Structure 1
């Protein structure tokens, strides 16, 4: 299964997710379901291309599919996107530093009495966040080049 960042990095897949979200919000009686043909019409992309991207979205858990005869109806599964959002929040929150300090048990200004192991933990955590931020930046840069 592809990494969720790889999945959402593709603009066509993001467009499909947008169509699914639009269906969910604008036609509530549809329960968010939309046929492949309607997605093709909405995007103006070929049916094989849409099907290929829907397969990736399905395998990554971002969409549900319901089969009815030869027809396939897709709808958005918000679960993976919510987990992605939870992961991203510390990086985009303006209060990230204050949140990290609160989790470490100190005020936002810092506390000179931190024990050595707390400092080591904070350092390791900071390095992990920096490495992850670098990976996200690389994905975003790759997406912009496409």
Structure 2
């Protein structure tokens, strides 16, 4: 499988992804699918060129295809782009105070752990009240 960065480096593939994204966000269309012929018409490219690029996008799991007779309908699957997002964010998020986020997460983690501990302790007390002593593992 090609590296996701190599796949999205090609401007034609980015154009195809944009067409799929536009279809995906268009509420009037069903399931965000678009046929190859519609992509060809929108981008004014040849069908073999579009098919070649769709194959690369399919192999990178950026698109899913549904076959209906001789027709192919494509839809966007943005999941693989999360790797790109993870790589780009540190370069674009320079105004974020990492120490403040870390402190906030630590506080939330402590609160969560405290809540879980209280729930577990309460559950154990309830079980002890209803479980006969001879069945308990103390």
- TM-score for the superposition, normalised by structure 1: 0.64
Q: Match of 2:53? A: 53
Aligned ranges 1:117-136 → 2 under 5 Å: none
Q: Give aligned pairs, total.
A: 103
Q: CA deviation at 1:62?
A: 0.4
Tell me whether 1:74 sits opposite 2:110 in the alignment: no
Query: Can you list the C-alpha shifts for 1:19-76, whole angstroms capped at 9, x where unaligned?
Result: 0011111244321100000000000000000000000000001000001111100000
Q: Which has the larger radius of gyration?
A: 2
Q: Please say if residues 16 and 39 of structure 2, whose CA atoms lie closer than 8 Å, have aligned partners that are also in contact.
A: yes
Q: Match of 1:85? A: 85
Aligned ranges 1:21-32 → 2 under 5 Å: 21-32=21-32
- Give the gaps of 5 or more residues in structure 2: 104-138
Q: Please say if residues 64 and 75 of structure 2, whose CA atoms lie closer than 8 Å, have aligned partners that are also in contact.
A: yes
- Partner Cα distance (2:28, 2:10) in 1: 27
Moved over 6 A (4+): none
Q: Please say if residues 20 and 33 of structure 2, whose CA atoms lie closer than 8 Å, have aligned partners that are also in contact.
A: yes
Kindly report the root-mean-square deviation, in angstroms, between the aligned alpha carbons of the 2 structures: 1.8
- TM-score for the superposition, normalised by structure 2: 0.68
- Partner Cα distance (2:30, 2:84) in 1: 26
Q: CA deviation at 1:102?
A: 5.8
Q: Match of 1:112? A: none
Tell me whether 1:64 sits opposite 2:64 in the alignment: yes
